[in-house]
Structure 1
């Protein structure tokens, strides 16, 4: 039976370390209640496929997910590309990405504003700007990298730089006038528009990044290989032609899941080093 633990304390993981329990978490790139809602049907499915009790525990920051994978308090985690790179380095290369959505192989970020005078990246100079979380691939690292490629240094060229903490929060910042512009991932932007949580006539996209690899599901390096295989196969056999599977995939905003590998994230690691975020 699927269980969702609402407690955010990482200490709760240790109590679940023994027994037939699959311990799962995700980077907090959206509100904890939204992450739980999106995960529940997937958790039910993974429980059926593995025969294990699945416990999802949201955490307060990105670093907590990385540290919990490294210390064996998590078995499986939903990571952004940069967070995976951090987990790889923290675990001496043992953390293993197993699958990603097809969409994650061609991911983009969207620059948004409510200011009609901002029509290009160059128009951001002298403006206030909001990134997401500092460790977010699509809300911070890759947009920053592409801004630099366009000759823009955020700390020098923007009037002020803020970090909202999450993609949906960035849109709220821009809509409320707390920032002249901001950036978030394309998947969350599309969802906010579809659900009516943002009015694209008021807050609109004025630029997008080139494509890059992003999110994946990663297992801790010493997870039982048979369990890793079961989890990988479970994701790969999700079929949108199956109504139950489609409901799971719609919440994950996935057309299908595909295998992934560490080499896919070498570009992100290079971008992080270029930005001075990794030694």
Structure 2
């Protein structure tokens, strides 16, 4: 059974796979009967991926976790322990404001007025939110900068400060030290704005410290599976290759994330946009979805009762005709010269023909236990899931694209994929149809190169 773990790509997709794929391998070995896979998730993809249950677990920054827990019922199971140095571990992190040493006049938060600033993303706790709290306490806000750009990764922010595109960069603690250890920047060419110090915390820091990233289960993920995963991760030794690759010492019992709730409430950021407002208008903004929901439930219940009665009559009348049609369809489906597969709305492979089995190398029985997310190459998985979600939601009528798939022999193959959705009355998706054929001339070089 495939289990997917969505990991926030704070340093980019390649870094996520390099850092967390060994953890997936570790869990695959530690949890029999399950195959774990890492799905890199960009900041702007988080809500879409979680809302549509495209992954089973998430490893996200603490602010995003809080929003997901409030909006979608995501539950933390463990907190990571960051690797500080020989014999040093922590389950807290902060934000650091970096300036080039040539800008020696930028020393404190007030010095940021009129400056060009780079940050990671509006939902990045270490790459924006922590610093925003300190800025507001110093009497500043984002409008006081001459320019503010969000660059999507922590590495991009450090590089922007290094080459002069930004005068100040906001990133999570440990980013500068890790990039320096990789030989990508010279740490001595930067200085810290508004430096702070904490006992037993060696990283450069400009803000208060907050609980480290958790791993959390989605609402649909079985509690028993989450318990087994938590036990396996708690047993991970600090010298395990998975811990080394992730640059952590392992996992610990969940931290108290109340400080993260408090900073989001104070700044009135998601999911607390209206926190503290008690006017009638604010109450209406907060609770109108519930009022609409109650009315919609009553309407839906009435509709369903009427619909079911009508369907029962129609079902008896058409049952024999459907049986005849099914026999004809099965014969045509199995003998089709191109690969054809039916997917459930959640992406499970429920029916495949002989050509589809030949293309992937899996038997029909093996494919029947897999989800579509087992097939695409890891670097294309997130974008593929977004495209299928758009198809399912009716945003597009069909998908026609070339992809890299991984077959049973773990070889990369080029596939020309066409997908469409079969819908019932009311536009409800009954199933998705995939038509897959080996890609045409010239695609093999593309597939091997990943271009």
TM-score scaled by structure 1? 0.84
Q: How does 1:131-142 map to 2 (within 5 A)?
A: 131-142=119-130
- CA positional deviation for 1:132: 0.6
2:432 corresponds to which residue?
Answer: none
Deviations 1:133-176 (A, max 9, x none): 11111101111112212322222x22111111111111011112
DSSP-derived class of the 1:102 partner = strand
Contact 1:139 1:167 in 2 (8 A): yes
Q: Which residue of 2 aligns with 1:249?
A: 243
Is the counterpart of residue 26 in structure 1 residue 18 in structure 2?
A: no
Counterpart residue number, 1:12: none
Q: How much has 1:84 moved relative to structure 2?
A: 0.5
Quote the Cα distance in structure 1 between the aligned partners of 2:213 and 2:110.
28
Q: 1:268 aligns with which of 245, 256, 260?
A: 260
- The answer (yes or no) to whether the contact 2:43–2:152 under 8 Å persists in 1 is no
For the residues of structure 2 that align with 1:110 and 1:222, how far apart are their CA atoms? 36
1:112 counterpart residue number: 98
**2:19 paired residue among 38, 41, 58:** 38
**CA shift for structure 1 position 63:** 4.0
Contact 1:142/1:268 (CA < 8 Å) preserved in 2?
no
Aligned residue among 199, 202, 207 for 2:186: 199
Q: C-alpha distance in 1, partners of 2:126/2:45?
A: 19
Report the counterpart of residue 177 of structure 1 in structure 2: 164
Structure 1: unaligned runs, 5 residues or longer: 1-19
CA apart distance, 1:251: 2.2
Gap regions ≥5 residues in structure 2: 83-89, 196-205, 274-451
Show the counterpart of 2:134. 146
C-alpha contact (below 8 Å) 1:25/1:76 kept by paired residues:
yes
Whether the aligned pair in 1 keeps the contact of 2:97 and 2:169 (CA below 8 Å) is: yes
Q: Tell me the residue number matched to 2:449.
A: none
SS in 1 for 2:110: helix
8 Å CA contact 1:81–1:268 kept in 2: the answer is yes
Is 1:225 aligned with 2:223? yes
**Residues 55-104 of structure 1, C-alpha deviations (whole Å, 9 max, x = no match):** 22223x3242333223321101110011101211221xx21111112346
SS at match of 1:40: helix
* CA positional deviation for 1:212: 1.0
* Aligned CA-pair RMSD: 1.7
Cα pair 1:70 1:90 within 8 Å, conserved: no
Between the aligned partners of 1:225 and 1:187, the Cα distance in structure 2 is 33
Give the count of matched residue pairs: 250
Contact 1:62 1:83 in 2 (8 A): no
Distance 1:88 1:54 in 2: 22
8 Å CA contact retained: 2:96, 2:192: yes
| Equivalent residues of 2:130, 2:208 under 8 A apart | no
Rounded Cα–Cα distance in structure 1 between residues aligned with 2:183 and 2:253: 33
Give a deviation string over 1:40-68, Cα, whole Å, max 9, x none: 21111011111211222223x32423332
Which structure carries more strand by proportion?
2
The correspondence for 2:65, drawn from 75, 84, 102, is 84
- d(CA) in 2 for partners of 1:90 and 1:219? 14
What is aligned with 1:162?
149
Question: Quick one: distance in 1 between partners of 2:92 and 2:151?
Answer: 24
